[in-house]
Amino acid sequence: MSTPGSLSAPAPRIAIIGAGPGGLICARILQRHGLTAAVYERETALGARNQGGTLDLHEDNGQTALREAGLLDDFFRVSRPEGQEMRQLNPAGSLLFHHTPAEGERSKPEIDRGQLRDLLLDSLQPGTVRWGHTLRSVEGPASGPRQLHFADGTVVEADLVIGADGAWSTVRSALSDAIPRYSGVSFLEARFDDVDTEHPGIADLVGQGTAAAADGDRGLFAQRNSGDHIRVYLIQRVPADWISAAGLTIQDTDGIRALLSDRYRDWSPNLRRLLTDNDGRYVDRPIHALPVPHTWEQNPTVTLLGDAAHLMPPLGVGVNLALLDACELALAIVHHNTVEDAVLAYEKTMLPRSTQMQQRLDNGAEELLSAEPPD
């Protein structure tokens, strides 16, 4: 065929890099329209690692994509509408703001990352995801076909490469020299298990959704997960290497607890328990973001979605934009005669939208430290 991916000719060979929510829902929507795509994932198998905390999927983007994928009812069956509860406290522990969702409210129900991934994986044709494939480079001419070189020596040819491979995307380097930069704000994750039995005071403090507090320099954000778990993210304006600079390692749980107890010493005892009573080790999560705006010259055989395209601070939009990106890209491929036309149409919408959101959230990690209650 003269143009890569002509849909009037043989179907394009589509390679999606990354089996996160964006990559999986893109493959799902393509399959619903009779097109196939292979998803290449560096994890060795399903369940190779914990997928992390909980997500709120919004009705105007994340839920839109799930509806197009034919999975919205399945999502509502496993999601937690009660997770829409929000509490904002001050460092003294006083309640500043409290939202309790109305009965039937489904504007942004919560779902664990692992549950969402399972839902998407179960919807795909067997063999769609190729586990244990770590991408090393994207080679070949811009006009295609492209060659994907994997760490195990495998080389795969594709007419369209979709980078859904997250913050540290390998596919991105085929389009852009941009790399994520440290925001100056870091999260430290703490996990609490069997909270209703083992940590009833923390369970009462957090409720069924989220609870947050901040004093302008330090903050915390606690989220109820399914399975009687709570995750707490301790938010600090610190150098990226703050743990090693204190002479500690992430494995030194007692040392980090002592450091946190000192840094949050003016906070109420109830809130300090969210820092120090956790089960197991902490997880260090420095917050990075791509330069604003992040754009590139249109390429007929490579494109990006989600964090690979527009990594932003974690303010509740990331996975929703990834799902919307994936939905719009899949539909563009379905409804255009060539892959090149599909990519052009998709990026014509996605890039301005992501630029606008990047500009709104630029330095947004600082907002997580604001002592002001939410609007």
For residue 113, say whether it is annotated as part of any ligand binding site.
yes
Element (H, E) at 233: strand 229-237
CB 18 within 8 Å of CB 165: yes
At 324, give phi and psi (nearest 5°): -65, -45
Beta strands in 1-85 (DSSP E): 14-17, 38-40, 54-56
- Cis-peptide into 145, omega within 30 deg: yes
Tokens of 330: 């899949």
- Among the listed residues 266, 270, 258, 268, the one whose alpha carbon sits nearest the alpha carbon of residue 200: 270
CB 307 within 8 Å of CB 361: no
- Among the listed residues 21, 44, 47, the one whose alpha carbon sits nearest the alpha carbon of residue 134: 44
Q: How far is Cα 215 from Cα 368, in angstroms, rounded to an integer?
A: 10
- Helix/strand/coil percentages in the chain, nearest 5: 35, 25, 40
For residue 307, say whether it is annotated as part of any ligand binding site.
yes
Q: What is the DSSP string of 209-229?
A: SEEEEE-SSEEEEEEEETTTE
Beta strands 86-89 and 95-99, pairing class: antiparallel
For residue 49, say whether it is annotated as part of any ligand binding site.
yes
Angle of CA points 276, 279, 285, to nearest 5°: 75
- Among the listed residues 156, 146, 56, the one whose alpha carbon sits nearest the alpha carbon of residue 107: 56
- Among the listed residues 322, 312, 353, the one whose alpha carbon sits nearest the alpha carbon of residue 23: 322
Q: How far is Cα 265 from Cα 226, in angstroms, rounded to an integer?
A: 30
Beta strands 160-163 and 14-17, pairing class: parallel
Task: Could you list the residues known to form a binding site, using ranges.
Answer: 49, 56, 113, 307
Task: Could you list the residues known to form a binding site for NADPH, using ranges.
Answer: 49
Task: Could you list the residues known to form a binding site for FAD, using ranges.
Answer: 56, 113, 307
